[in-house]
Amino acid sequence: MEFSGKVALVTGGGNGIGRASSLGFAARGAKVVVVDRDVAGGEATAGIVRQKGGEAIFVEADVTKSDSVRAYVERAVQAYGRIDCFHNNAGIEGAVAPTADYDDAMFDAVMAVNVRGVFLGLKHVLKQMLAQKSGAIVNTASTAALLGSPGMPAYVASKHAVLGLTKTASGEVARHGIRVNAVCPGPIDTRMIHDLEAQLNPGDPQAVSRRYQASIPIGRYGTPEEVANTVLFLCSDLAGNITGAHFVVDGGRSSTPGAVTAIRD
């Protein structure tokens, strides 16, 4: 997995999984464009890359806004001339509530980041990659793209949609030297999973964490780096014949009946 001379763009690069993939690309030679609405987090990721001797810029953007997405693509091309790898990763979890009680505005907010944001990223980055006649994209979906999860209607619907976008785009651009895949993480040790723990049991999030991790065959949450490694593989030439696919990184959770509901028992 060698990215010397290549340019990687990561949305949601200011924290969690996106920071890990930004650092992973940079460690293997890529110039990295870190995109996030979190200025402190995004600047920190780019700063870590530069401290380690790599090249990175931070671009503040809201992935739900078309102008903002067009601008992050333009800024990347202006800075580094091309986009070889795109980790289309920014996402939010939204509230935990049953469908019958789910807030309309919250539903729209989750769909805006997780579906519209991924769609806009594909649309604008693909224009650049089509002009280059090369590129590799990984959209961050989730095991929530494959299974229902009581209490998370917006998130589950949004991540199912990410796989639909992945499959559709991959077929459109495969003959143009561009691959589009998705990664489906299970529970990963980032801010997002800790927020969900606190929503499920505000009084004792640690209890949720213990029960949740015990329900995963591998016995623990995944790390952001474990997801990033899969993203890097899918963006690398090693994955040259892989497109329209999704890769599960979940410690065996989704392949074990009952594990998904164990958290609620």
Ligand X SMILES: NC(=O)c1ccc[n+]([C@@H]2O[C@H](COP(=O)([O-])OP(=O)(O)OC[C@H]3O[C@@H](n4cnc5c(N)ncnc54)[C@H](O)[C@@H]3O)[C@@H](O)[C@H]2O)c1
Question: Which residues are annotated as catalytic?
Answer: 155
Strand partners, 178: 135
User: Does 16 participate in binding ligand X (rule CB under 6 A)?
Assistant: yes
The single residue listed with the structure tokens 């995944």 is 222
Indicate the SS3 state at residue 218: coil
Among 21, 22, 142, 230, binds ligand X (CB under 6 A): 142
User: Does 69 participate in binding ligand X (rule CB under 6 A)?
Assistant: no
Q: How far apart are CA 213 and CA 234, in angstroms?
A: 27
Q: How far apart are CA 16 and CA 33, in angstroms?
A: 16
Phi-psi region of 34 (alpha: psi -120 to 50; beta: other; left: phi over 0): beta
Residues 177-196 that bind ligand X (CB under 6 A): 185, 187-188, 190-193
Packed helices 104-111 and 153-173: angle between N→C axes, nearest 10 degrees: 30
Among 57, 69, 110, 113, binds ligand X (CB under 6 A): 113
Q: Which is nearer to ligand X, 41 or 135 (CB)?
A: 41
The single residue listed with the structure tokens 């789910």 is 102
How many residues interact with ligand X (rule CB under 6 A)?
30
Q: Least distance to ligand X from the beta carbon of 171, Å?
A: 23
The answer to whether the beta carbons of residues 263 and 213 sit under 8 Å apart is no
User: Does 64 participate in binding ligand X (rule CB under 6 A)?
Assistant: yes
Q: Least distance to ligand X from the beta carbon of 261, Å?
A: 17
Among 18, 24, 151, 153, binds ligand X (CB under 6 A): 18
In the complex, the residues that contact ligand X under the rule CB under 6 A are: 11-12, 14-18, 36-38, 41, 61-64, 89-92, 113, 117, 140, 142, 185, 187-188, 190-193
